[in-house]
Amino acid sequence: MTQSVVILGSGQAGVSVARELRKLNTDIELTIISTDDGGFYAKPTLSNALAAGKAPTQLLLSSADKLAEQLKARILAHTTVTAIDTQAKQIHTSIGPISYSALVLANGAQPIRLPLTGSGAADVLSVNNLDDYAIFRNTLQPGMHVAILGAGLIGCEFANDLRIAEHPVSVFDLAPQPLGRLLPPQAASFFAEKLNTAGVQFHFGTSITNVDSTAEGYALTTTDGQQFKADLVLSAIGLKPATELAAAAGLKTHRGIVVDRHLQTSVADVYALGDCAEVEGLVLPYILPIMNAARALAKTLAGDVTAVSYPAMPVVVKTPACPTVVSPPAIGAGGSWQEEVIEGGVRALYKAADGSLLGCALLGEASKERQSIAAQLPAVL
Amino acid sequence: MAEREFKLWRCLICSYVYDEALGDPEHGLPPGTRWEDVPRSWICPDCDVGKDEFEMVEI
Ligand SMILES: Cc1cc2nc3c(=O)[nH]c(=O)nc-3n(C[C@H](O)[C@H](O)[C@H](O)COP(=O)(O)OP(=O)(O)OC[C@H]3O[C@@H](n4cnc5c(N)ncnc54)[C@H](O)[C@@H]3O)c2cc1C
Ligand SMILES: [Zn+2]
């Protein structure tokens, strides 16, 4: 019987598994199912497309047809998977059941929504795929004042990108600083100051509770009763791994779909990777973990059972106003931050009691030391 | 000796394309520099990420 690998999702995770698998095996039947149009784009380009001068349509790198041809795969676009039957080894979709010999869950994550009230709450946008981004760009008119909810990585990247296109930008976050636990205090103030100099207005320690639609745009009310105006509201408070389908099928889920180092879920022949997965307790919604996982899983699917290893995987924050590279210490890692303010930057190193390096945040000029410092970081898994 | 075809590598973060035929002369990589000969210290000229965040593509 020919093997049939079914991949749920055509994002970086799903497409990377398919590409890596095709490098190893050209016979296995490959089906990719996606609610979106099945084309491939690099998601990180969504938060610097304005600076790059690109319209949403220019971000598409391969159409579904071209991808299907390159991968020798069947791509079922605009198709939703509604249930997984691990006993029958079948998935149920909006166009009927499909059988698999191995199933790869690469269905990503969903934006977390604040419980907002008000007549404009439903107009609040969030961007987690190319279609969302096209809506955002169609709504965005020159000069519009944009309010961003959330000063995390994605909120700050959008803020910087919008400033490059000369939009007034206000960012709200309940936390006292940007980028949350990625940055220790001095690094955080340096970062906030640089973005502020670029024109980003930060409002820390406060969140938005109500958005009303008005004749001139939107009126926002904060937790502490302040009022702000904006023409467009973008929510970027975080992502939640898509675990519902897996949980409904009886697969073990926790923060994400629980998988071991072989990317295998609690059920045989069902695997998961990418933003939906929790690999040995780690939810790492970034490109490098996906690439490492995809390479290991492709080998396993091709018959050479392989565990994933994660080297140190620093993340570059795409904020040109403050070039930043972060590699947060593992949760619960014993140690402390040591921050050094240098000319035009901050070098923050997270060290264990014995002096070994466990994490870093390199800002401004210090970001140029990325490679020598990253070389001293421990492997993640 | 038959010339091996030059390949294209695309940055997964910003879509910059490294073309082996063109190299990156501004950053010390003459035209014709193969991907395997690009040093690990090289970073994407558009977004600063390292070699690991590139993937070979057919365009
Ligand atoms: C604005 C932005 C900027 C970013 N920048 C960076 C960066 O600079 N560096 C970095 O490392 N990371 C970055 N990231 C994170 C990175 O892009 C993600 O980790 C990665 O793209 C996730 O890929 P994925 O394939 O796991 O999920 P997704 O891309 O979310 O793909 C999920 C797929 O599953 C499909 N799907 C879901 N449910 C169903 C269903 N029921 N039926 C059928 N199909 C379904 C969807 O249609 C989609 O094709 C950024 C993220 C964002 C949002
Ligand atoms: Zn790049």
| HEC assignment per residue over A294-351 | HHHHHHHHCCCCCCCCCCCCCEEECCCCCCEEEECCCCCCCCEEEEEEECCEEEEEEE
d(C-alpha A206, C-alpha A151), whole Å: 11
Give the bridge partners for A218, in sequence order.
Answer: A213, A230
d(C-alpha A244, C-alpha A257), whole Å: 9
Q: What is the pLDDT of residue A29?
A: 97
Most ligand 1 atoms within 8 A of CB, residue of A16, A107, A318 to mutate: A107
Q: What is the pLDDT of residue B49?
A: 87
Which residue from A42, A52, A370 is facing B12, i.e. has the nearest CB?
A42
pLDDT at A256 over 50: yes
Nearest CA to ligand 1 atom 17: A43
Question: Of A44, A59, A321, A45, whose CA–CA distance to A169 is shortest?
Answer: A321
d(C-alpha A274, C-alpha A208), whole Å: 30
Which residue out of A65, A153, A161, A287 would a mutagenesis test of the B interface target, given it has the greatest number of B Cβ atoms within 10 Å? Answer: A287
Is the pTM higher than 0.90? The answer reads: yes
Mean pLDDT of A150-154: 98
d(C-alpha A75, C-alpha A87), whole Å: 24
Please write the tens of the pLDDT for every residue from A173-219.
999 999 999 999 999 999 999 999 999 999 999 999 999 999 999 99
Going from the N-terminus, what domains does chain A have, and what CATH number goes with each?
A: 4-110+239-301 (3.50.50.60), 113-235 (3.50.50.60), 323-374 (3.30.390.120)
Q: What is the pLDDT of residue B59?
A: 61
Q: Higher model confidence: residue A246 or residue B3?
A: A246
CB A213 within 8 A of CB A220: no
* DSSP 3-state of A58: helix
d(C-alpha B24, C-alpha B19), whole Å: 8
Structure tokens at A294: 């995809």
Question: Of B40, B45, B59, B53, whose CA–CA distance to B11 is shortest?
Answer: B53
CB A349 within 8 A of CB A338: yes
ipTM confidence? 0.83
> Cβ A291–B41 below 8 Å, yes or no?
no
Ligand 1 center to B52 CA (angstroms): 18
Which residue out of B11, B13, B17 would a mutagenesis test of the A interface target, given it has the greatest number of A Cβ atoms within 10 Å? Answer: B13
Q: What is the pLDDT of residue B3?
A: 60
CB A348 within 8 A of CB A339: yes
CB A84 within 8 A of CB A103: yes
Please write the tens of the pLDDT for every residue from A326-338.
999 998 889 999 9
Ligand 1 center to A204 CA (angstroms): 28
Nearest CA to ligand 1 atom 2: A44
Contacting residues of B for A294, CB less than 8 Å apart:
none
d(C-alpha A80, C-alpha A90), whole Å: 14
d(C-alpha B55, C-alpha A210), whole Å: 43
pLDDT at A235 over 80: yes
Kindly tell me the burial class for residue A379, based on how many C-beta atoms sit within 10 Å of its own C-beta (0-12, 13-18, 19 or more).
exposed
Average pLDDT of chain A, as a whole number: 96
d(C-alpha A367, C-alpha A33), whole Å: 39
Give, in order, the Cα–Cα distances in Å from A320 to each of A47, A164, A191, A235, B42: 12, 9, 11, 21, 19
Element (H, E) at A13: helix A12-24
Structure tokens at B24: 């990156």
Please write the tens of the pLDDT for every residue from A48-77.
999 999 999 999 999 999 999 999 999 999
The residue in chain A having the minimum alpha-carbon distance to the alpha carbon of residue B53 is: A288
Helix, strand, coil share of chain B (percent; to 5): 15, 20, 65
- Kindly indicate the confidence band of residue A344, based on its pLDDT and cuts at 50, 70 and 90: very high
Please write the tens of the pLDDT for every residue from B1-54.
446 689 999 998 888 999 999 999 999 999 999 999 999 889 999 888 888 888
pLDDT at A1 over 70: no
> Cβ A44–B14 below 8 Å, yes or no?
yes
**Residues in the ligand 1 pocket, defined by CB under 6 Å:** A 8-14, 33-36, 43-44, 46-47, 80-81, 106-109, 127-128, 154, 242, 245, 274-275, 285-288, 290, 315, 318; B 13
The residue in chain B having the minimum alpha-carbon distance to the alpha carbon of residue A40 is: B12
Sheet holding A29-33, edge to edge: A74-76, A29-33, A4-8, A102-105, A270-272
Identify residues whose C-beta is under 5 A from ligand 2, the ion. Answer: B 11, 13-14, 16, 44, 46-47
